[in-house]
Amino acid sequence: MRTFSQELKTEICNQELDTKSAKYFLNGIVFNKLVSIDNSYLSYTTQYPKTIRFLKKILVLLDQELKDEITYTKKVNQLKKTEYELNFKLDQEILSLDSSSDYEDYMYAFFGGLFLSVGNVSSPDSKDHHLELVFNEEYNAILINNLLIQNGHEHFKLTTRKNKFVLYLKKVQEIINFIAYIKAFDCVFKYEDESIKRKIYSKVKSSNNLDIVNLTKTIDLNNKLKPMIETIIYDESFNEQTELFKRYCFTKLQNPSASLLELSSILTKEGFPITRTGLAHYNKKIKILYEQLKK
């Protein structure tokens, strides 16, 4: 049975690539994972086949030299896992991330690639939630934590476990925020749906006056809006929309369970003041735009 970590990694590997995002994904995937072999070739190994195929796709897109096709070996241990290997050469300039004006726009790809190599996350229905990035060296964990902080993710904690250095999140909303940042929106909504179900159960236990109908409507609305928003933001016409509307779409994806009042508060704090009525209008606009794109 596929784990939720594998499900998240599959969604990352299914993301669309251009040469810029491919470079950032590559740097995240190979961070602290490359081994030098003969004749300037580098080796990357993983136990997850989709990651190795995604890496190969990136290398081909970036016109890098591949030594062989993907090879695999059975790892002799109690788990009897298979390791997949790819050997290749890299132009050195590819391994340096530039500081151009759109640098921050592509860091999601770096952290998405990093999660493919060193990340794991608990299932949404787990009682003990966590998202982890695991490193062999402490200085690499510290370096990544500094990058996370620079990109708005200051809640990671550092600990040690079995001679490994682990950056981790425990709070559900912080986990959701990170998964949304790396654009794994299907997994975001699964976490959000489970979170809402837990809230319903908790409120039912503590109060007989819970308005279950409204919470159920919220779940239904979230499930309907999510594919609509994703379709809209990936269409070229999305760039023609107002900054407020675009910001609302991304904010809604990152906070799918938030009420209109909560979303209004978030946007206002970010410098985009709008009322609940205005956001309700945007929900109608999303449905209209989606129907137009379907034609």
DSSP of 25-50, one letter per residue? HHHHHHTTT-EE-GGG-EEEEES-HH
Domain endpoint, select from 67, 100, 133: 100
Q: Tens of pLDDT along 149-167?
A: 999 999 999 999 999 999 9
147 inside domain:
no
Same domain, 189 and 94: no
Contact (Cβ atoms closer than 8 angstroms) between residue 67 and residue 53:
no
The per-residue pLDDT for 211 is: 55
Is residue 21 a contact partner of residue 69, using CB atoms and an 8 Å limit? no
Residue 223 placed within a domain: yes
Residue 190 resides in a domain: yes
Along the 295 residues of the chain, how does pLDDT read in single tens digits? 789 999 999 999 999 999 999 999 999 999 988 888 877 888 999 989 999 999 999 999 999 988 877 777 766 555 667 888 899 988 888 887 766 667 788 999 999 999 999 999 999 988 899 999 999 999 999 999 999 999 999 999 999 999 999 999 999 999 999 999 999 999 998 888 887 777 766 665 555 444 555 555 666 666 788 889 989 888 888 888 999 999 999 998 888 878 888 889 999 999 999 998 898 899 899 999 988 888 7
b/e code 244-283 from CB counts within 10 Å (16+ = b): bbbbbbebbbbbbbbebeebbebbeeeebebeeeebeebb
CA–CA separation, 179 and 135 (whole Å): 19
SS3 assignment, position 111: helix
Domain that includes residue 280, residue range: 184-294
Does any domain span residue 91? yes
Domain with residue 60: its CATH number is 3.10.28.10
| 1 in a structural domain | yes
Instruction: Give the residue among 259, 281, 284, 263 at the shortest CA–CA distance from 272.
Output: 263
Q: Where a domain ends, among 42, 75, 100?
A: 100
Q: Which tokens is 113 given?
A: 């690639």
Distance CA 230, CA 14 (A): 14
What phi and psi, each to the nearest 5 degrees, are found at residue 124? -55, -30
Residue 136, both tokens: 């062999």
Q: Specify if 136 maps to a domain.
A: no
Per the structure, the count of domains in the chain is 2
pLDDT confidence of residue 10:
95
Residues near 272 by beta carbon (within 8 Å), at least 6 away in sequence: 243, 244, 247, 248
Query: What are the beta bridge partners of residue 35?
Result: 43
- How confident is the model at residue 201, as a pLDDT? 64
Q: Are residues 195 and 290 in the same domain?
A: yes
- Burial label, 77 (beta-carbon count in 10 A; 0-12, 13-18, 19+): exposed
Q: Which of 100, 121, 154 finishes a domain?
A: 100
Q: Using H for helix, E for strand and C for coil, what is the string for 216-281?
A: HHHHHHHHHHHHHHHHHHCCHHHHHCCHHHHHHHHHHHHCCCCCHHHHHHHHHHCCCCCCHHHHHH
pLDDT at 61: 94
Instruction: Give the residue from 274, 277, 256, 257 showing the smallest Cα distance to 265.
Output: 274
- Alpha carbons 200 and 196: distance in angstroms, whole number: 6
